[in-house]
Amino acid sequence: MLKKPIIEVNNVSMRFNLAKEKTDTIKEYCIKFIKGKLFFDEFYALKNISFNINKGEAVALIGVNGSGKSTMLKIIAGVMTPTEGNVTIRGSIAPLIELGAGFDMDLTARENIFLNGAVLGYDRKFMQKNFDEIISFAELEEFLDVPVKNFSSGMIARLGFAIATIVKADILVVDEILAVGDYMFQKKCKERIAKMLEGGTTLLFVSHDIKQVKELCTKAIWLEHGILKDIGSVDEVCKKYEPDYEE
């Protein structure tokens, strides 16, 4: 019997309503709403997208800015609900979508490890057991009791990545997280991702760095203005996409 895909995206569309005119205050908004004078333009970030990803695949979502990549990732991660269609996920997800997601910027790194762990579904005992490994990977031993609001984007990325990948998730969702940090940190992240892939984790990866895409992924999904442009092997799809990317 054929195994079902670990990710199924079925006819997904995401519509946003863009206000036609500026509303400066909540009072003005409420008055217009009551009078039926709020007018919007419909904008589709995604339009009738369908694809499947099998367990253990390393798949890149590629496309220029505004193509709908991050919106697609957020729908898959359960952060957003599509306007139309549905997504079926068969497994646990470790999402690395936005820097600092799940962090309280006024709390210290130490406090945020336990907070972010709770957001990801890990209990305090588990986080205490893995605390030293998280700090060691993130290389933040000297900044444990510093509020995260004082961290650079690279430091926040290191902390978020270390927490999200402390256990083997079925699906790892990564959005541009490797675009920050120094070369050595990026190398450590790639090595950890490669180890997770060897263990059967499925990777869904977004990056504007085509070199990174080819290094980590075997399959690519090309989105353009919210439409599925192409899907196939990473080399074939990237070859078609690169003229648009360079432009």
Q: Is the pLDDT assigned to residue 37 strictly greater than 60? A: no
Domain ranges of the chain: 7-92+169-246, 103-166
CA distance 227 to 246: 20
- Note the pTM of the prediction, 2 decimals: 0.78
- Highest mean pLDDT pick, 36-45, 91-100, 129-138: 129-138
Would you call 93 helix, strand, or coil by DSSP? strand
Strands 202-206 and 58-62, bridge-based pairing = parallel
Phi, psi dihedral angles at 130 (to 5 degrees): -105, 5
Q: Return the pLDDT at 35.
A: 55
Per-position DSSP letters for 176-212, written without gaps between them: SGGGSS-HHHHHHHHHHHHHHHHTT-EEEEE-S-HHH
Is the predicted pLDDT of residue 183 greater than 90, yes or no? no
3-state secondary structure of 138: helix
Per-residue pLDDT, 153: 81
The per-residue pLDDT for 204 is: 93
Distance CA 208, CA 65 (A): 9
Question: How high is the pLDDT of residue 232?
Answer: 95
Does 106 have pLDDT greater than 80? yes
- Binning pLDDT at 50, 70 and 90, where does residue 158 land? confident
pLDDT at 165: 85
Burial call 132-156: b when 16+ CB within 10 Å, e when fewer: eebbebbbbeebeeeebeebeeebb
Which range, 21-35, 68-82, 91-105, is most confident?
A: 68-82
Sole residue written with tokens 């442009």? 229
The superfamily in CATH containing domain 7-92+169-246 is: P-loop containing nucleotide triphosphate hydrolases (3.40.50.300)
Q: Please tell me what DSSP assigns to residue 19.
A: E
Q: How does DSSP classify residue 137?
A: H
Going by C-beta distance under 8 Å and a sequence separation of 6 or more, which residues neighbour residue 95?
A: 73, 77, 79, 101, 164, 173
- What six digits make up the tokens of 227? 């439409």
Question: Terminus-to-terminus CA distance in the chain, angstroms?
Answer: 45
Q: Residue 5's closest CA among 116, 89, 127, 78? A: 89
Contact 96, 173 (CB under 8 A): yes
| 161 compared with 47, residue with greater pLDDT | 47
Q: Could you report the per-residue pLDDT of 212-230, keeping only the tens digit for each?
A: 899 889 999 999 999 999 9
